[in-house]
Amino acid sequence: MFVLAMFLAGCVSMSHQVPPAEDVLRAGPLARILVFVGNVPLGGAGTSAVGTSINIGGTVYFGAQGRDMNNKPIAINPTWTASKPEVVEISPRVGSMVAVKGLREGSTEIVVEALGVKHTIEYISVK
């Protein structure tokens, strides 16, 4: 009984040294945006959207997620803007997951923006 009481007393005295679980799990402010092809679970990794090729009339799906300065994942709801909207159609324009449809032959960049942080997906080509 004495040993158990000492163990519990030690746990209580240590509790002020260990940060609460919610502080460990909380992500800091958004530092960067990652964009993957397909639906990648939050915190996961996948194929980068850079250099994606789409057939005319074809559709590819992109998913975006954020990271803080310590690489902790952050769910985001970004806006998506094509540099040449005549080449691709993005639907919806806001959201963590979008469909990008090839409209005509050409290339474009897509800017993904959330909370003041931007990420440019380069070399999107439609053939």
Residues 46-99 pLDDT 10s: 999 999 999 999 999 999 999 999 999 999 999 999 999 999 999 999 999 999
Instruction: State the pTM of this model.
Output: 0.78
| Per-residue confidence (pLDDT) for residue 27, from 0 to 100 | 73
b/e per residue 80-103 (b: at least 16 CB within 10 A): bebeeeebbebeeeebbebebbbb
Per-residue pLDDT band at 30 (split at 50, 70, 90)? very high
Q: What are phi and psi of 61, to 5 degrees?
A: -110, 135
Average pLDDT estimate for 96-109: 98
Q: Answer left, alpha or beta for residue 63, where phi above 0 means left and psi between -120 and 50 means alpha.
A: beta
Structural domains in the chain plus CATH codes: 28-126 (2.60.40.10)
Can you give the pLDDT at residue 28? 84
The predicted structure's pLDDT at residue 22: 45
Instruction: Mention every residue, 6+ apart, whose C-beta is less than 8 A from residue 47.
Output: 36, 37, 38
Give the tens place of pLDDT for each residue, 4-26: 444 444 444 443 444 444 444 56
- Torsion-angle region of 6 (φ positive above 0: left; ψ -120 to 50: alpha; else: beta): alpha
Give the model's pLDDT for residue 15: 39
